[in-house]
């Protein structure tokens, strides 16, 4: 059987390995020069730093899938604990820990009387994770009826899916700062804590339950390892190969068109921003999708490490709520934003020349359609001043090079509307309402990726590829029986 995968992001790459393992002839068509999608490096001479995701969650999910594909021990993961500090404008710092006793003690030190709330939060979220993962993260919903079962509705009520992540945090913590500390994680997948369903409260829970990890050599190393495996297993990869159309006949796809050439296939898997992939299919009704938040990214090569004590660092503004309202509702740049600083050189000396360092700054901003590139660049100068003020007064003297990436570059890189995380994780774009792994009426067309169920984030996209492979094996068995 000939399987063509359109798009070489992490979902497409993992799916390709599963398909090859099943004995199929597999070929990938990728529009960009390299595979990996969001999982990439920004390189500048002897310096390199992750260009996309940096916070490694759910390591067991990643390792289980690598083991499925006989790729265990190809990457080294380091556990990071404490997880990160949250620096508040008044000079107060809350240190987040995976270790529950240390986290409770830290909360009690700064917010007396609130440590009991943390223990209750973790107990409740553990029960919800154990119920929610098998119900929603480990399976597809090819028919809406398979989602709206009595059991699932009961679990959704238990997860309090009708609440926002922020509202759920407020049920546990009195302090606004603690509410922010246990809800900002929706930004990892491009959603506002004020609007994203409380089913995503499992993300902040996971930081404590499963830890935050670092891939030695950078998260982009994972994409490199998988690309090596594709080559080792003789999976043909076509780069600079933009696909313009999926050809169909009756209820089946027959092949694709790339570089003005028709390539036949028995099975087609779409791995890219779903709104774009949908447009490759004939006769599809127009549908409006809400993009995730964008990111203003600032990359630095430094003659010395940036002055932070931790790999991951969050610097909060006066009001996260105001920042989120400006970002998601008013579509404007916030005057006092929260921002994130990534300093991997603290634990990884492979990213820069000896004694030097790299750093990455991320500010959640509206997607590309709302702000001009020039305005983003002006804003980046403001952020740089904040960065120097709040992290390292000598930063300017340490800069060897710097690079700014706005949502406009992300949009040019085929990210939907310049949002960094696919479609937004809103309630009506989650679960059964999100595009599914078999999203069309055609019998042999499938989808995988950040905008497809079960959702965004590297381990979750990998999990989506695994769910897809399980469906394909069932269909293979059915063909064999018939």
Known active-site residue 207: yes
Q: Which of 207, 224, 273, 417 is catalytic?
A: 207
Asked if residues 223 and 36 have their Cβ atoms less than 8 Å apart, the reply is yes
Own/partner long-range contacts of 112-115 (Cβ < 8 Å, ≥24 apart): 114/173, 114/174, 114/175, 114/178
CB 75 within 8 A of CB 225: yes
Beta-carbon count within 10 A of 200 CB: 25
DSSP 204-227: HHHHHHH-EEEETT-THHHHHHHH
Would you tell me how many other CB atoms lie within 10 Å of the CB of residue 370?
A: 17
Cis peptide upstream of residue 236 (ω within 30 degrees of 0)? no
CB-based contacts of 1: which residues, under 8 Å, 6+ apart? 24, 25, 266, 267, 476
Phi, psi of 284 (to 5 degrees): -90, 135
Task: Quote the CA–CA distance of 418 and 431 in Å, as a whole number.
Answer: 23
Q: Count CB atoms within 10 A of the CB of residue 245.
A: 14
3-state secondary structure of 275: helix
Q: What is the SS3 assignment for 446?
A: strand
Residue 195's H or E segment, with its range, is: none
Which stretches does DSSP call E strand in 250-397? 252-258, 261-264, 267-270, 294-302, 312-315, 339-342, 357-365
For residues 318-347, one letter each, b for 16 or more C-beta atoms within 10 angstroms of the residue's C-beta and e for the rest, the string is: ebbbebbbbbbeeeebbeebbbbbbbbbee
Listed in sequence order, the residues at least 6 apart from 330 whose beta carbon sits closer than 8 Å to its beta carbon are none
Pairing of strands 212-215, 236-238: unpaired
- 135 secondary structure, DSSP code: I
Q: Give the closest residue to 233 by CA, choosing from 383, 22, 467, 9.
A: 22
Alpha-helical runs (H) found in 211-271:
220-232
265: left (phi over 0), alpha (psi -120 to 50) or beta: beta
Sheet holding 445-447, edge to edge: 236-238, 25-29, 2-6, 267-270, 445-447
Active site residues: 207
């Amino acid at each position: 059987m000939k399987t063509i995968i359109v798009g070489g992001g992490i979902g497409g790459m993992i799916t390709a390995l599963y398909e090859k393992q099943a004995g199929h002839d597999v070929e990938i068509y990728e529009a960009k020069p390299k595979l990996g999608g969001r999982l990439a490096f920004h390189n500048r001479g002897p310096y390199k730093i992750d260009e996309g995701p940096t916070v490694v969650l759910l390591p067991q999910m990643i390792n289980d899938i690598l083991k499925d594909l006989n790729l265990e021990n190809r990457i080294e993961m380091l556990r990071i604990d404490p997880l990160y500090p949250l620096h508040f404008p008044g000079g107060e710092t809350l240190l987040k820990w995976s270790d529950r006793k240390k986290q409770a003690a830290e909360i009690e030190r700064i917010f007396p009387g609130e440590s009991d709330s943390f223990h209750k939060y973790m107990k409740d979220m553990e029960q919800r994770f154990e119920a929610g993962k098998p119900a929603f993260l480990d399976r597809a919903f090819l028919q809406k009826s398979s989602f709206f079962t009595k059991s699932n509705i009961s679990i959704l009520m238990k997860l309090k899916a009708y609440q926002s992540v922020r509202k759920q945090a407020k049920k546990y913590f009195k302090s606004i700062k603690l509410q922010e500390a246990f809800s900002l994680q929706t930004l990892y997948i491009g959603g506002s804590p004020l609007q994203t369903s409380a089913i995503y409260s499992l993300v902040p829970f996971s930081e404590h339950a499963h830890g935050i990890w670092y891939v030695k050599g950078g998260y982009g190393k994972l994409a490199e390892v998988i690309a090596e495996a594709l080559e080792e297993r003789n999976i043909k990869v076509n780069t600079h190969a933009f696909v313009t159309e999926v050809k169909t006949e009756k209820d089946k796809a027959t092949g694709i068109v790339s570089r003005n050439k028709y390539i036949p296939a028995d099975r087609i898997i779409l791995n890219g921003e779903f709104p774009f992939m949908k447009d490759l299919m004939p006769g599809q009704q127009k549908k409006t999708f809400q993009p995730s938040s964008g990111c203003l990214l600032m990359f630095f090569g430094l003659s010395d490490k940036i002055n932070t004590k931790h790999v991951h660092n969050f610097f909060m503004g006066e009001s996260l709520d105001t920042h989120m309202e400006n970002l998601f509702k008013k579509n404007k740049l916030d005057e006092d934003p929260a921002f994130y600083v990534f300093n991997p050189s603290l634990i990884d000396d492979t990213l820069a020349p000896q004694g030097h360092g790299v750093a990455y700054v991320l500010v959640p901003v509206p997607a590309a359609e709302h702000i001009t590139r020039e305005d983003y660049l002006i804003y980046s100068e403001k952020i740089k001043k904040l960065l120097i003020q709040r992290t390292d007064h000598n930063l300017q003297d340490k800069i060897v090079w710097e690079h700014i990436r706005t949502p406009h570059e992300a949009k040019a890189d085929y990210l939907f509307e310049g949002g960094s995380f696919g479609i937004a994780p809103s309630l009506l774009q989650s679960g059964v309402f999100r595009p599914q792994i078999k999203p069309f009426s055609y019998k042999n067309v499938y989808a995988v990726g950040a905008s497809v169920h079960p959702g965004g984030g590297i381990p979750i996209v990998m999990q989506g590829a695994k769910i897809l492979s399980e469906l394909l094996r069932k269909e293979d068995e059915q063909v064999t029986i018939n």
